[in-house]
Every structure is written in structure tokens, then in C-alpha cells.
Amino acid sequence: MNTGGVAREGAQGWRWLGWLSLPAVSFGLLWASGAVHRTGSPARDVLALLVPDLTDGESGPVRQAATLTLVLATTLLSYLVLHAVRGGRRGRRFLLLWAGAGVAALVVAGAIELGRLSAAAGPASGRATASAVAAVASVAVPWTLTAGLAAAAVTVWLAPPQPRATAGAPRYARSGVAATLLLATIWSAGSLARAAAVSSVSEDPAPAVERPTAAASVPSSDPSDPPLPRNARPDRAFAGRCKESAIRVTYQGMDAAAGGRYALIAAVNDGDEPCVLKGFPDVAFADLLGNNVRVKLSRGGGWDGQDAAAKPVRLAPGAVAHAELSWRADAGAYDREVNTILVAGWAGAERTGYGGHFQVKNGTAVRTSPWLAGEV
């Protein structure tokens, strides 16, 4: 009895199972992330950390194209890894499969952002490009650390070590399969970029610049969790700081490009004496019902993405300072509508609300620059 032939046939069958497990698990986790994103459960934000949404809240043709691209990319990478690493090197195989899952995530997220960037009017600016790169990292890295890790672990478990002496298909046949998968992945990624471009245009049919309304709309009923009128953690006062009654802080509008949002805040010295403004503005958001939307506010640089230290800005009577906000429009159709931004000159000053359409949700990373001299 030819036991070696039976063993080879069995190993070959297990290898095919290994090839299919990485794309199968990736497909299942991508589907699960969409289900988590659509649920109205209070635990959605926690579940989203465990199963991040690789498509950044997209649906319809974009999600379908992203699914196909992810399946093709993971199939290609799994095929290459499981052919290249045989024998008992499970640890090496796992690391390569995990890296492959990360590459597949970068392909999907990169194609989506490339489509959004191409749909923006005019040539891509430095801030739009930086925002797109940050967006790719913000979805691909969490996906790799959670979903990619799980998919690689399952693949290694389902694909036992292969004997090095196993006779496989001819080299030219394996190369042909790999080339076919590569071309199919490139075609699918291109289709994904085109779908993302169409989706980006349809989501933002209005002019790129949004002008603020005079005041935020009043909710029809009392909110159950409204933002505080003043930040509970006030900034430390300093000599010469502008009096709260002398500073008028306003929301000046928002620009949209390649999935990013760029808002401008202005501060005018309405007093009779010069004063100093230093530090960062205070920002909060509220939804349509007037309830607090807890974004992750970080202090750093402006629209160019570079860090900027807070420096004193001396304001003569009537002089203006400005601050720049930026974030990813990561709120989807199933998230609460956010229509109010509340701003103040510093944490602890009284906030003033302005209306608009802000695609943020709980956990959205909002970056604010320090106060800068002059108008934009």
C-alpha cells in the first residue's frame, strides 16, 4: 500500500483548506464589521474596536467592491505564503500571513481613499493627501491588529505543516495562478477606487465649503445628556489673558476634501484694550436631539498636519485670531445626525453653539491647532 501517496493527497487537501481560510475568515469579519456598524446597540462602539470597519462606514457598491478586493488579495497572499513556507515553521507562516492580511487591508483602504481623493475638485492639496494617508492608517492598522491577527491564526490552525518533499504542481502552473490572482486583485482595486469616487461625489453634492448657520437648531425635547455649558476641566489662567466677556468666538465654516473635514474657528477681541490669547480652543459637539457627542479631541497642529506649539497671540481691539480643526468624516448613515458645534476661547469659558452638518460620532478623532494670529 502506497501510504506516502495517501499522505500527500491528504496534505494537498489540507493545503487547499489553508488557502481558503484566510480569505474566508477575512470575508466573515468584514461582514461582521458591517453588521456591528449598523446596529443600534449601546455596545456598538465597544464591538467596533474588536471588529473595525475596513470600509470606513461605506455601503452599497463600495462595500461590495471592497469585499471582492479583500477576498482576492488575501487569497493571493495566502497562496504565496503557504507555498513558500512549508514544513514545521508555523511561527514564520503565521507572521507572514498576518503581514499579508495587513497588506490586503492597506490595498482595500488605499483604494477607497484614492477614489475619494480623485473625486475632490482640483489637484490634491498637501492637507488632503496627508488626511488620506492618515485615514488609510486609521482603518488598516486596527483591522490588521484584530481581524488580521484572527484570520492568520485560524489559517495556521487549519493548514497543518506540509512535508517538504510533497510533490506539488509545476512551477509555471503556480506562477500562472499567482499572476491571475494578482491581475484580478488589481482590477478589483481599481473598481473599488472608482466606486469610492462615485460615492464621494454623491455624498457631497453641495459646494465644498459649508457656511455656519447663525445658531444651532433647538431640539424638540429636553436632551437627556447635553454637553456642559463650560468644560469641566478649565485651562489655567495667566496674566494678560483676554477677558471672557471681551472675546467673541465663532465657527466660520467647514471645507470637505477626500473624506476629511476642515473647520475654522475665529476669535475677535471686542473689548477696548489689547489682550493675549494663548493655547487651544474648547470644542464640543451635539446631535440633533441636543445630546453630547463624545469625540476624542487632540491638541496639535493645523491643516498641514504638522505640530504647532501654542504661542501667545496679542490681540488689539478688533483684531482676529483663528484655530483650525480637522477630522475624518467617519459617521455613517446609521449614526446619529450631529448638527451643532460648541466653541469657546479656552477650556472653562462659556461655549457658544453653531449649526451645521458635522460627520462625527462618539470616538471620532478631532484635531485642533492652537490659536494663530490673523485670519485665514
Q: What is the pLDDT of residue 247?
A: 92
Is pLDDT of 344 > 90? yes
Is pLDDT of 164 > 70? no
Average pLDDT of the segment spanning 342-364? 88
CA distance from start to end of the chain:
83
Q: What is the pLDDT of residue 121?
A: 47
CA 303, CA 369: separation in Å to the nearest integer?
Answer: 8
- 39 or 289, greater pLDDT: 289
Name the most confidently modeled range: 11-25, 75-89, 247-261, 322-336: 247-261
Average pLDDT of the segment spanning 6-20? 51
Lowest mean pLDDT among 6-20, 39-53, 137-151: 6-20
Helix %, strand %, coil % for the chain, to 5?
45, 20, 35
Band (pLDDT 50/70/90 cuts) for residue 199 is low
pLDDT in tens, 272-321: 999 999 889 999 999 888 888 888 888 876 666 555 677 889 999 999 99
Tell me the pLDDT of the chain averaged across its residues.
76
Average pLDDT of the segment spanning 55-69? 78
The CB density around residue 254, as the number of other CB atoms within 10 Å, is 21
Could you give the angle at the alpha carbon of 110 between the alpha carbons of 41 and 136, nearest 5°? Answer: 55
CA 194, CA 199: separation in Å to the nearest integer?
Answer: 9
Helix 90-119 vs helix 149-158: angle between axes, to the nearest 10 degrees?
140
- What ranges do the domains of the chain cover? 3-203, 209-373
The CB density around residue 360, as the number of other CB atoms within 10 Å, is 24
Q: Are residues 218 and 340 in contact, defined by beta-carbon separation less than 8 angstroms?
A: no
Band (pLDDT 50/70/90 cuts) for residue 248 is very high
Q: What is the pLDDT of residue 87?
A: 54
Is pLDDT of 334 > 60? no
Q: What is the pLDDT of residue 55?
A: 74
Q: Are residues 302 and 349 in contact, defined by beta-carbon separation less than 8 angstroms?
A: no
Name the most confidently modeled range: 4-8, 138-142, 192-196, 323-327: 323-327
Q: What is the pLDDT of residue 58?
A: 66
Is pLDDT of 83 > 80? no
**Complete DSSP assignment for 179-227:** HHHHHHHHHHHHHHHHHHHHHHHHH--S-SEEPPPSSPPPPSS--SSPP
